[in-house]
Structure 1
């Protein structure tokens, strides 16, 4: 059995065992739907007529306390009707974070959520309206987060240039496929400029706070007039406008990014004003996100199909964007 198949088999066994701790019938079935930082499964119980999303967390990524804090923020957003997000589901003993043994590897935290109807916007569609809705959602979440009194136990990580470029929680960009001497040189210069720009922009409370941090189209579900946001796994403290940078993840070089940005800003500023400095920092935040994703591709290349599909071209594309960023041509 190959390494990837062995991991899948071990996790399938772990999922089967942890589902017994919830109120599902003996008819419950599950299948893998996504592999990224976490392994996400769809759970269907035809006897009870319900479905759920089960997330097996990446080991050594978030602590139990950090995961509990994510769920607390989702509760608060749902309770205030800020966004429609999947409700966490408790096990029979009332706990919402389980820890399950995995054969041949470290134990994993597991969480379960309602399965929400809907689909992400199609890449072939006109995305301007969707980016406008994302901007509106982001501003409402930011305003709520600014005014929300967090519990004393609340703890989430900080997403900033140090986390991306030094702590490398998502993988070293230098190790990604496609990175040679020339690529490392231009991307290193881009990293220096990112640090300089963000230091100048600062972390005032009007600029830096609690964000979704992965508010991209793939995490937006549209079901008729109903709009839902999923996957709060990367929520934490960052520059508020990083939520636009995440919205164009894997599409940073698309010629339509400028139009998408205008639509997102239009949606955002309906409820929250932005300064010229805020708008000017967007290319830097997008470049920072691209550096994160270059590292992510390298880190996940062996087990995530999306990373393998991007391959070395994603790093070389980052170099083209970096050249435009350093010369002041990107999004101008």
Structure 2
């Protein structure tokens, strides 16, 4: 059995065992629907008609305490009707984070959520309205987070330039395919400029706080007029406007980004005012996100199909963006 098939088989056994701890009928079925950093399964109970999303968390990323904190924030957002998000589901003993043994690998944390209807906006559609909706959602979440009294036990990671460029949160960008001496030189200069500009921008309470940190169109579900936000796995502390940078992940160099940004800002400022300094920091946050993803490709390109597909072109494309960024031409 290949390595990937062995992992899939062992996780299937783990999912089957953990589902027995929830209020499902004996005929409950599950199937894998997404593999990224986490493995996500759709769970269907034919006896009740109930569906759920089960997430098997990546190993060695979030602690149990950090995952509990994610669920607490989702509870708070739902309770205040800020956004429609999937409700966490507790096991029979009331716990909402399970830990299961996995054959030939580390134990995994598992969480379960209600399955929400809807689909992400089509990439073939006019995305301007969708980016406007994302901006509005981001502003409302940020405003809520600023005023929310977090419990003392609340723990989430901080996404900043030190995490990305120094601690290599998702991998070292220097290890990405396509990085040679010339590429490393231009990207190193861009990293220095990112650090300089973010230090100047600062971390005031009106600029830095609790964010979704992966508020992409793929995590927006649309069903008629109903909007839902999913996948809070990367939520944590960052600059608020980083939520736009994440919205254009893997698309940072597309010519439509400027239009999408204006639509996002239009939606955002309907709920929350921004300053000229806030708007001016957006190219820096997008450049930081690109560096994070270059590192992700470098770390995953040998074993993740998406990273392999991006390949060396993603790093060399980052160099072109970096040249425009350093020359003051990026998104201007």
TM-score range, shorter chain: over 0.9
> Residue 196 in 1 paired to residue 199 in 2?
no
Give the whole-Å Cα distance in 2 for the aligned partners of 1:162 and 1:229: 28
Give the whole-Å Cα distance in 2 for the aligned partners of 1:149 and 1:205: 14
The question of whether the paired residues in 2 share the 8 Å contact of 1:41 and 1:53 is answered with yes
- Report what 1:60 is aligned to: 60
The question of whether the paired residues in 2 share the 8 Å contact of 1:219 and 1:229 is answered with yes
- Report what 1:28 is aligned to: 28
- Report what 1:14 is aligned to: 14
Give the whole-Å Cα distance in 2 for the aligned partners of 1:43 and 1:307: 28
The question of whether the paired residues in 2 share the 8 Å contact of 1:36 and 1:300 is answered with no
Once the two structures are superposed, residues 71-130 of structure 1 have per-residue CA deviations (whole angstroms, 9 ceiling, x without a partner) of 000000000000000000001111000000011111010000011000001111000000
Superposition pairs for residues 174-323 of structure 1, below 5 Å? 174-323=174-323
Could you say what secondary structure the match of 1:221 adopts? strand
Alpha-carbon distance, 1:296 to partner = 1.2
Give the whole-Å Cα distance in 2 for the aligned partners of 1:222 and 1:316: 34
Alpha-carbon distance, 1:157 to partner = 0.5
Give the whole-Å Cα distance in 1 for the aligned partners of 2:30 and 2:233: 21
Alpha-carbon distance, 1:299 to partner = 2.0
> Residue 46 in 1 paired to residue 26 in 2?
no
> Residue 151 in 1 paired to residue 151 in 2?
yes
Once the two structures are superposed, residues 231-288 of structure 1 have per-residue CA deviations (whole angstroms, 9 ceiling, x without a partner) of 0000000000000000101110110000000000000001111000000000000000
The question of whether the paired residues in 2 share the 8 Å contact of 1:138 and 1:243 is answered with yes
The question of whether the paired residues in 2 share the 8 Å contact of 1:43 and 1:51 is answered with yes
Alpha-carbon distance, 1:305 to partner = 2.7
For the structure 1 residues 101 and 229, does the alpha-carbon distance in structure 2 shift closer, same or farther, using more than 3 Å as the test?
same
Give the whole-Å Cα distance in 1 for the aligned partners of 2:162 and 2:112: 31
Could you say what secondary structure the match of 2:121 adopts? coil
Give the TM-score normalised by structure 2: 0.98
Alpha-carbon distance, 1:183 to partner = 1.5
The question of whether the paired residues in 2 share the 8 Å contact of 1:35 and 1:304 is answered with no
Alpha-carbon distance, 1:174 to partner = 1.2
Alpha-carbon distance, 1:27 to partner = 1.7
Give the whole-Å Cα distance in 2 for the aligned partners of 1:53 and 1:243: 24
Give the whole-Å Cα distance in 2 for the aligned partners of 1:295 and 1:143: 31
Q: Structure 1: 5+ residue runs without aligned partners?
A: none
Alpha-carbon distance, 1:52 to partner = 0.9
What number of residue pairs does the alignment pair up? 332
Runs (4+) of structure 1 exceeding 4 A deviation are: none
Q: CA RMSD in A?
A: 1.0
Give the whole-Å Cα distance in 1 for the aligned partners of 2:251 and 2:290: 9
The question of whether the paired residues in 2 share the 8 Å contact of 1:4 and 1:303 is answered with no
Could you say what secondary structure the match of 2:24 adopts? coil
Q: Structure 2: 5+ residue runs without aligned partners?
A: none
> Residue 168 in 1 paired to residue 165 in 2?
no
Give the whole-Å Cα distance in 1 for the aligned partners of 2:230 and 2:237: 18
- Report what 2:2 is aligned to: 2
- Report what 1:120 is aligned to: 120
Alpha-carbon distance, 1:28 to partner = 1.5
Alpha-carbon distance, 1:64 to partner = 0.4
Give the whole-Å Cα distance in 1 for the aligned partners of 2:2 and 2:183: 33
Could you say what secondary structure the match of 1:106 adopts? strand
- Report what 1:132 is aligned to: 132
